[in-house]
Structure 1
Amino acid sequence: MAYETIDFKLEGGVARLTLNRPDRLNSFTVQMHEEVADALGRLDDARALVLTGAGRGFCAGQDLNDRAVAPGEAVDLGESVEQRYNPLIRRLTALPMPVIARVNGVAAGAGANIALACDIVIAAKSAKFIQSFAAIGLIPDSGGTWVLPRLVGQARALGLALTGDPLPAETAAEWGLIWKAVDDDALDAEVDALAAKFAAGPTRGLGEIKRMIRESWDQSLDAELDRQRDAMRALGYSEDYREGVAAFMEKRKPNFAGK
């Protein structure tokens, strides 16, 4: 597929997927959804994924113009969510590798929640997160109503969702909504260093950390202890574990193969 609305590169184990409609703040169209889905199917040689936006914004959510609905005309938004946004969120959260959101500017509506679906969110201090749904009579989709109270608590989740007030990146970091807010001119270096670290790391173990933590919400402590036992047993037989122990004992840097 020749991409027109995104840019996709894979180098050194790091895949970089850039939403590339800067004139529309990288808002989603059906075409962009299709291109993103295609790119996410090309990660066989990747050990980390960076998701970002071109220009001055990360993503403004859905491009309302793309729905071609006349003012006052009804539209089945559930179909759009079911066919486009839900599969994207499920895919990002299930990828067996760390996913970094590089939030370079405004992340609004579904764009904010797509960023929050990533495993690590690093934002420029000038960036803002906006749950803009209430302004047009909708609810925070793309996982928003699930992830917000789990990250920041019910009071702040309701405040963000009901008011639609922009949340500065530094406050988002203070609240625990995102991992880190950095100076704008330090964003690339911060993201690149972390992506390189993940790409050189024990990919299978990192993928298991991601899976275990994401699935732990539904587990009792007793069940989680059993899951930890099973995961440790499987990882103990991995090549990366053997290499990690050998490197530690030999006082050298490990050379992980991601297996």
Structure 2
Amino acid sequence: MNNSAITLDIVEDVAWLTLARPEKRNAVDPEFAFRLHELAEHCAADQAIRCVVLTGSGKFFCVGGDIDAFSAAGEDAEAAVGALARSFHAGIHRLATMEKPLVTAINGPAAGAGLSLAILGDIALAAASAHFTSAYSAVGLTPDGGASWWLPRLIGMRRAQEMILTNRRIGAEEAAAIGLVTRVVPDDALRTEASTVASALAKGPIRALARCRALLVESATADLSTQLDREAASIAESAGAAEGREGVTAFLAKRPPHFV
């Protein structure tokens, strides 16, 4: 599946999604948005895929929406951008809720919708050359891709306000320090590190990791009593499942667990 705006390569049990419009700095247009949703659904449904890595091609991760396409829409901009955002959001939502972990390997600058994609990873690895900008208000627009939902949860409301309202550029080291990304990796080591992280996750208890993902997202809007009930149900389900039984057996036998 290597002939469009985003390519898919499967290496063992890890799916690599690569943003493949380097001549446009991997900007989001309708084809890109459709492809993101299509591939997200594929990765979610394919039981042979146990982890997904999202990265970019060229010097940029993703600079956000394709402003040329916005301009070309003219008087129809409201309808065109609305349709693009809804299509893009379908892919974002599927990646965020699929029952397998997501690693983002941020190979360069990320802005606008690219920022939203970059911070979507459960593990977000940033190349040292990467930097992050909201960018929306600089062109009279507002966030999409979940940025206004994720940013306050990752870095706090005050920093989110500054990023979105002033478009201050955040370098890779600062991004790691404030929790925008997981950690910084030398540019030439990014793919190797992403592969190492993804392979380790793929060998883990994928169903349990899926429940962990869901609990963390749900916690943002749940009260303590509700979250405790969810945790009790989740750990009980995990204990009764094959992964939980294998994990306990392996622990008692003092051997590594085999979850695959």
Whether these two folds match at TM > 0.5 is yes
Q: CA offsets per residue over residues 49-97 of structure 1, 9 Å max, x none?
A: 00000011111111122345266x4511333222x22212211110111
Q: Does 1:81 align with 2:85?
A: yes
- The residue correspondences of 1:223-242 to structure 2 (distance < 5 A) are 223-242=226-245
Q: CA offsets per residue over residues 107-162 of structure 1, 9 Å max, x none?
A: 11101011212222110111001100011111121111121122212221111111
Identify the residue that residue 255 of structure 2 maps to in structure 1.
Answer: 252
- The residue correspondences of 1:165-176 to structure 2 (distance < 5 A) are 165-176=168-179
Identify the residue that residue 46 of structure 1 maps to in structure 2.
Answer: 49
TM-fit CA distance, 1:236:
0.9
TM-score calculated relative to the size of structure 1 = 0.93
Partner of 2:189: helix, strand, or coil? Answer: helix
Identify the residue that residue 90 of structure 1 maps to in structure 2.
Answer: 93
TM-fit CA distance, 1:197:
0.4
Code of the residue aligned with 1:22 in structure 2: it is: P
- 8 Å Cα contact 1:12/1:199 also seen in 2: no
Identify the residue that residue 134 of structure 1 maps to in structure 2.
Answer: 137
For 1:31 and 1:80, the matched residues in 2 are separated by 9
- 8 Å Cα contact 1:106/1:127 also seen in 2: yes
Partner of 1:57: helix, strand, or coil? Answer: coil
Mark the runs of 5 or more structure 2 residues left unpaired by the alignment: none
For 1:108 and 1:249, the matched residues in 2 are separated by 48
How many residue pairs match? The answer is: 255
Q: Does 1:209 align with 2:212?
A: yes
Q: CA offsets per residue over residues 222-248 of structure 1, 9 Å max, x none?
A: 111111110011111111111112222
Q: Does 1:23 align with 2:23?
A: yes
For 1:37 and 1:156, the matched residues in 2 are separated by 30
User: Identity of paired residues, percent?
Assistant: 36
Partner of 1:240: helix, strand, or coil? Answer: helix
TM-score calculated relative to the size of structure 2 = 0.93
Partner of 2:77: helix, strand, or coil? Answer: coil
For 2:233 and 2:83, the matched residues in 1 are separated by 38
Code of the residue aligned with 1:41 in structure 2: it is: E
Identify the residue that residue 116 of structure 1 maps to in structure 2.
Answer: 119
Identify the residue that residue 154 of structure 1 maps to in structure 2.
Answer: 157
Code of the residue aligned with 2:21 in structure 1: it is: R
Mark the runs of 5 or more structure 1 residues left unpaired by the alignment: none
For 1:2 and 1:51, the matched residues in 2 are separated by 14
For 2:30 and 2:196, the matched residues in 1 are separated by 33
